[in-house]
């Protein structure tokens, strides 16, 4: 069995890459991709500890996280569409208020 | 900056260039990774138990857990998630409905906006042309 430290280091690296993307990118699609990276880092941890401790709960939880990530992307793409229609850009720093 | 109108645009900061604002977030991310790595490598995770395939296998076990079926060989290693399964199903349904609502166009090409008005070419319906 592979030691859990390797999985956790991989998850930490993926999470930090996602965090870097969220902090630096202004395009909404890159934003969504970075958030997905952070969610998948959590999934790696769930599955790694599930296998390590012999408990299936972590794997079931990772399925729920994947489903919620899909819901988040669906809403996110809709918001990006509205953003583009109203401002002509997908830069998340352009809109300054909640209404136009 | 060049005065040549053909090259003036290119002298400005690139919209997609992150080099001018990526230093602090990059250092913060690296610092976070360092803290996490030190914590992970110094942690004691106890003895591994390992997943046993059991009578039905791991995939079947996940399916049993999702639908609260008798967990069989996994009775002691997980629990039922039927309520969570339904809540996630409803959440996905609401999300796809919301995405369709946000993206919907009328047959004449106008856009039904998220705030209730109808927009046509970026202008709210009923507003004057000037």
B47 against B77, higher pLDDT: B47
Q: Is the pLDDT of residue B5 over 50?
A: no
Q: Is the pLDDT of residue A66 over 90?
A: yes
Q: Is the pLDDT of residue B75 over 70?
A: no
Say which of A4, A54, A99 has its CB closest to residue B51.
Answer: A54
A92 against A48, higher pLDDT: A48
Examine residue A98 and state whether it is found in any structural domain, yes or no. no
Examine residue A53 and state whether it is found in any structural domain, yes or no. yes
* Cβ–Cβ below 8 Å for B18 and A24: yes
**Going edge to edge, which strands form the sheet with B123-124?**
B111-112, B118-120, B123-124
**Banded model confidence at residue A62, pLDDT cuts 50, 70, 90:** very high
Examine residue A18 and state whether it is found in any structural domain, yes or no. no
Return the closest-CA partner of residue B24 out of A95, A36, A19. A19
Q: What is the mean pLDDT of residues B84-109?
A: 87
Contact A51/B at CB under 8 A? yes
Which residues of chain B lie closer than 8 angstroms to A91, CB-CB? Answer: 15
Residue A84 is part of a domain; what is its CATH number? 1.10.287.3510
Q: Is B114 exposed, middle or buried (0-12, 13-18, 19+ CB in 10 A)?
A: middle
Contact B62/A at CB under 8 A? yes
Q: What is the mean pLDDT of residues B68-96?
A: 82
Percent of chain B whose pLDDT exceeds 90: 28
Examine residue A68 and state whether it is found in any structural domain, yes or no. yes
Work out how many domains chain A is built from and give that number: 1
Examine residue A86 and state whether it is found in any structural domain, yes or no. yes
Cα nearest neighbour of B101 on chain A? A78
A46: containing domain: 26-92
Q: What is the mean pLDDT of residues B39-50?
A: 88
Cα nearest neighbour of A75 on chain B? B99
* Cβ–Cβ below 8 Å for B33 and A16: yes
Cα nearest neighbour of B120 on chain A? A85
pLDDT score for B64? 85
* Cβ–Cβ below 8 Å for A52 and B114: no
Examine residue A6 and state whether it is found in any structural domain, yes or no. no
């Amino acid at each position: 069995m592979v030691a859990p430290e390797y999985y956790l280091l991989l998850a930490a690296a993926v999470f930090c890459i996602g965090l870097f993307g969220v902090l630096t990118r202004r395009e909404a699609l890159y934003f969504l991709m970075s958030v997905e990276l952070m969610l998948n880092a959590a999934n790696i941890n769930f599955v790694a500890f599930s296998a390590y401790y012999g408990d299936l709960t972590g794997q079931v939880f990772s399925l729920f996280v994947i489903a919620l990530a899909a819901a988040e992307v669906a809403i996110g793409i809709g918001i990006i569409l509205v953003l583009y229609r109203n401002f002509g850009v997908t830069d998340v720093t352009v809109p300054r208020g909640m209404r136009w | 900056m060049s005065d040549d109108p053909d090259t003036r645009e290119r002298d400005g900061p690139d919209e997609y260039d992150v080099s001018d604002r990526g230093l602090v977030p990059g250092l913060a991310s690296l610092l976070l990774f360092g803290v996490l790595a030190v914590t992970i490598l110094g942690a004691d995770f106890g003895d591994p138990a390992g997943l046993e395939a059991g009578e039905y296998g791991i995939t079947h076990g996940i399916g049993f857990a999702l639908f609260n079926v008798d967990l069989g060989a996994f009775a002691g290693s997980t629990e039922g998630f039927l309520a969570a399964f339904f809540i996630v199903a409803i959440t996905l349904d609401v999300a796809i409905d919301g995405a369709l609502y946000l993206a919907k166009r009328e047959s004449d090409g106008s856009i039904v906006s998220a705030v209730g008005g109808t927009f046509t070419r970026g202008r709210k319906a009923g507003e004057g042309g000037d």
